[in-house]
Structure 1
Amino acid sequence: MSALDRRRFLRGTLLGAGAAGTLAASTGSSADEATSSAGAAPVFHGRHQNGILPEPSRHTAIAAFDVIAGTPGELRDLLRTLTDRLRRLTTGGTPTPVGITAPPEDSGVLGPEPPGGVRSVVGVGASLFDERFGLAARKPAALTPMREFPNDDLDSAQCHGDLSLQLSAEHPDTVLHALRDLARHTRGGMQLRWRVDGFTSPPRPDGAPRNLMGFKDGTANPDPADSAEMDRLVWARPEPEWTAGGSYQVIRLIRMLVEFWDRISVNEQELIFGRRRDSGAPLDGSREADAPDYRLDPAGAVVPLSSHIRMANPRTPDTDAHRILRRSYNYDRGIDEVGDLDMGLVFTCFQQDPARQFEQVQTRLVDEPLTDYIAPFGGGYFFALPGVRDESDHLGRSLLADL
């Protein structure tokens, strides 16, 4: 098939699939509901995408894609199709009958009436703003390719991408059903570049979920219910104007060298993190929710100056603006080529400006003791697009206006 024929096929397929998805899906309309807790039924429409603020769902798939659409119009068709399918995957609905000889509209993985329940985040990478679509002048002001930091061991095949996609739900088959649906309906518009599946554990026994090093993860997050804090730390400044309602997402794939970690004492592990493993409390506290008071421990006699929590968040007036909304998942990919366990953390975070926030935190963490037991190998920086306001809107509409 020639490039021109492929593009014509793409346009017809995307438009047809998008229309079918829109007619078949039911929708919600409350922007407030779109930012509700992970256990509540997600709502698709809202000022922000519905996968950013809620606590992590039990299962997720995070993937990056190279866009192979050839024109701004084909890119718009791709984003419309993503919107229509994600709306359907969020709200559920009976698949449209297609006749006896046609392939079924749905894979059937979730039965005859897929229930919905998917949360999602779609982002754009810096590479989308090259010469292909005439978008260079519209690139979000703080969007750059992901930096490589000291102690990283990045694999180029598992880094960056034109588009990012995160799908989250309470059951793994719901996530896989959504991924297959989107892969089918966007075939010809984008090509998978890398993918990783993640999961969160239930509280054990309570509080934040634990990572695969056994420590609670995300205890010191800012409160997503505090709209003023989210405006200050998470939602992007409208630079340019079309970015209002979006956020910058950092994704880091971090292998944990668990077989080495499991050979050191719990006391040493706690000194590395600065928290008690069992309770999650800082070493100068007694409960997980206690805030460490570094003013009473200036030399690090209790919470070492080199501990992860102290380096990541020194809790000074100058570093308060560096805080991020952390959203992390565990991963397990079996074994590597030499038979070692391949597991770790899918670290994601949302912020107003990666250079001001994530990169400041990550720079402080260079050469921390924890680096002996982790190996960041992939990920990327992406701009999470503004939400879809209503049935007439679609992801990236304001980005592609007038093109």
Structure 2
Amino acid sequence: MSKQTSRKQSTGKQAPRTQPPGKQAARKETAPKQASDGRVPAPAPAPAPETAGSPTTELSRRRLLGTVGAAGAAGLVVGGAGGAFGASALRDEAPEALTSIGSTRVAFRAAGGGHQAGITTPLQATGHLVAFDLAPGTDRKAAAALLRRWSRTAEELMAGRAPDADTGVALDAGPSSLTVTFGFGHSFFGRTGLTKRRPAELDPLPDFSADALDPDRSNGDLWIQIGADDALVAFHALRALQKDAAGRARPRWQMNGFNRTPGATAHPMTARNLMGQIDGTNNPKPSDRDFDERIFVGREAEQAWMRGGSYAVVRRIRMLLDDWEKRSRHDQEKVIGRRKDNGAPLTGGSETTPMRLDENRPDGLPVIPANAHARIAAPESNQGAAMLRRPFSYHDGFREDGAPDAGLLFICWQADPLRAFTQIQRKLDRGDALSPFLRHEASGLFAVPPAAEPGDYVGRPLLEG
């Protein structure tokens, strides 16, 4: 786990959420502007179509929002004539506009080879990671049909609309910054007869001395990352995509995570992990001159279908919190190389002050210890190697010995895993002071192609090219 390359969001700090327009603006038929990170405020939907003398034939996920506010009072009046829901669903007035977290929407599609959502999108409060294996007999054509269906469902959900045969879990919620990101594992290419189109960057990761990996919770043919600022919206997306996969793919493993909810702090700030450390200070930023070069696959890539895409390394890293919390704050700061209260390097300044790795104490020893996590993971210590970290925390109850089964769902993005994650992890593997407090228990590497263009689906250039 690399603290130096983590991030809360694409700017290194949480950006304020886009506020929705007022009622009048919400009713205008103008397209909302898309922000630089892909989010746009979700407009209030038009009333669902009706036929004379019949109830509404269809309700969008957002449509129901305008019905629930009057549910209690309407129930007293309508009684047995269909209840509050039946009465309010027939009204003509537009639903109330969503506010705050529920109103934000991230675009699913991107014209001109844009990146999938969920990579540079500001980190959401709730996440699900799930890997699938193709069902026996599922060929390339069937896999394409699955990706086509998944893309259609993801687009509907991210826009705040309910897909076909909806479960109703998130009927009264807006998009809530939902993102759905799709990737392909190493084994996918052999199962679909596409071995010649498998990128070299997808070769299996090497073994590390700290690994204690469970093969049943690692790898997979297909991978989906789901993020949202509302837990029900995230679960709704997970359930819909699992249902879409029936008969074509079966879940291999699933991991559930969380982060701080937007607005929970007095001002936007970098998140803390379960060790209490500010985690995400030195992440690459889109404003960096070489950001795209480090994070996204370039035009010169041999496999054209991956140009503009990225590679995701996924690791389930359990934190030995009982052991960590026994250490004094002073000792914890020496292990990390940064102050616990504000994330500043031990050489002084604020969270964003560059570390002075050559500064020594009066006794001649470095102020930031030689084995401090921040020093070893720094780009300066790794020939400039950097990766975009976008993790979730997790807590899966308690182990048999009573210790919490909790830690980090580590997700990092890079143009070349060998030159980023593998290079940094090898360095950490040889003497990181944080390693004794961590256990790497699951791992995966996935090729994440660019976003689907209008009228297309994710992965079509691979599956039909």
Q: TM-score range by the shorter chain?
A: 0.7 to 0.9
Q: CA deviation at 1:179?
A: 0.4
Residues in 1 aligned to 2:213 and 2:255: alpha-carbon distance in whole angstroms: 15
State which drifts further: 53-62 or 194-203: 194-203
Q: Does 1:34 align with 2:27?
A: no
Q: CA deviation at 1:239?
A: 2.5
TM-score (norm 1): 0.84
Q: CA deviation at 1:195?
A: 1.0
Match of 1:165 among 224, 227, 231: 224
Match of 1:54 among 118, 121, 129: 121
Would you say the 8 A contact 2:311–2:416 is kept in 1? Answer: yes
Match of 1:293 in 2: 356
Q: Does 1:110 align with 2:173?
A: no
Alpha-carbon displacement from aligned partner over 1:99-157 (angstroms, at most 9, x marks no partner): xxxxxx11111126764641121111111121x32211101231122332111111111
Q: Does 1:76 align with 2:165?
A: no
Q: CA deviation at 1:333?
A: 0.4
Match of 2:155 in 1: 87
Q: CA deviation at 1:64?
A: 1.1
Q: Does 1:384 align with 2:448?
A: yes
Match of 2:85 in 1: none
Match of 2:182 among 97, 122, 135: 122
- Structure of higher CA gyration radius: 2
State which drifts further: 68-77 or 36-45: 36-45
Match of 2:285 in 1: 223
Matched pairs, number: 363
Code of the aligned partner of 2:272 = R
Match of 1:348 among 394, 411, 420: 411
Identify if the C-alpha distance between structure 1 residues 198 and 389 changes in structure 2 by more than 3 Å, giving closer, same or farther.
same
- Following superposition of structure 1 onto structure 2, how do residues 326-337 of structure 1 map, counting pairs within 5 Å? 326-337=389-400
Match of 1:313 among 374, 378, 399: 378
Q: CA deviation at 1:302?
A: 0.5
Secondary structure at the counterpart of residue 255 of structure 2? strand
Identify if the C-alpha distance between structure 1 residues 106 and 113 changes in structure 2 by more than 3 Å, giving closer, same or farther.
farther
Residues in 1 aligned to 2:133 and 2:325: alpha-carbon distance in whole angstroms: 38
Match of 1:261 in 2: 324
State which drifts further: 292-301 or 368-377: 292-301
The percent of aligned pairs where both chains have the same amino acid is: 34
Cα RMSD (Å): 2.4
Residues in 2 aligned to 1:89 and 1:381: alpha-carbon distance in whole angstroms: 26
Match of 1:189 in 2: 248
Alpha-carbon displacement from aligned partner over 1:40-87 (angstroms, at most 9, x marks no partner): 420111111011112211110011111126211101001101101110
Would you say the 8 A contact 2:176–2:230 is kept in 1? Answer: no
Code of the aligned partner of 2:181 = V
Code of the aligned partner of 1:301 = P
Q: CA deviation at 1:31?
A: 9.3
Secondary structure at the counterpart of residue 110 of structure 1? coil
Secondary structure at the counterpart of residue 128 of structure 2? strand
Would you say the 8 A contact 1:143–1:383 is kept in 2? Answer: yes
Would you say the 8 A contact 1:29–1:43 is kept in 2? Answer: no
Residues in 1 aligned to 2:212 and 2:404: alpha-carbon distance in whole angstroms: 17
Gaps of 5+ in 2: 1-30, 42-99
Code of the aligned partner of 1:309 = A
Residues in 2 aligned to 1:118 and 1:204: alpha-carbon distance in whole angstroms: 21
- Following superposition of structure 1 onto structure 2, how do residues 362-401 of structure 1 map, counting pairs within 5 Å? 362-366=425-429, 367-390=431-454, 392-401=455-464
Would you say the 8 A contact 1:35–1:50 is kept in 2? Answer: no
Q: Does 1:208 align with 2:273?
A: no
Q: CA deviation at 1:158?
A: 0.9
Code of the aligned partner of 1:257 = L
Secondary structure at the counterpart of residue 134 of structure 1? coil
Residues in 1 aligned to 2:234 and 2:34: alpha-carbon distance in whole angstroms: 23
Residues in 1 aligned to 2:259 and 2:174: alpha-carbon distance in whole angstroms: 23
Gaps of 5+ in 1: 1-26, 97-104
Residues in 2 aligned to 1:282 and 1:113: alpha-carbon distance in whole angstroms: 41
Q: CA deviation at 1:30?
A: 6.0
State which drifts further: 87-96 or 47-56: 87-96
Q: CA deviation at 1:301?
A: 2.0
- Deviation above 3 Å: which 4+ runs of structure 1? 27-33, 35-40, 112-117, 202-206, 295-300
Would you say the 8 A contact 2:37–2:122 is kept in 1? Answer: no
Would you say the 8 A contact 1:327–1:349 is kept in 2? Answer: yes
Code of the aligned partner of 1:342 = D
Would you say the 8 A contact 1:254–1:374 is kept in 2? Answer: yes
Match of 2:238 in 1: 179
Would you say the 8 A contact 2:176–2:229 is kept in 1? Answer: no
State which drifts further: 107-116 or 379-388: 107-116
Residues in 2 aligned to 1:314 and 1:231: alpha-carbon distance in whole angstroms: 16
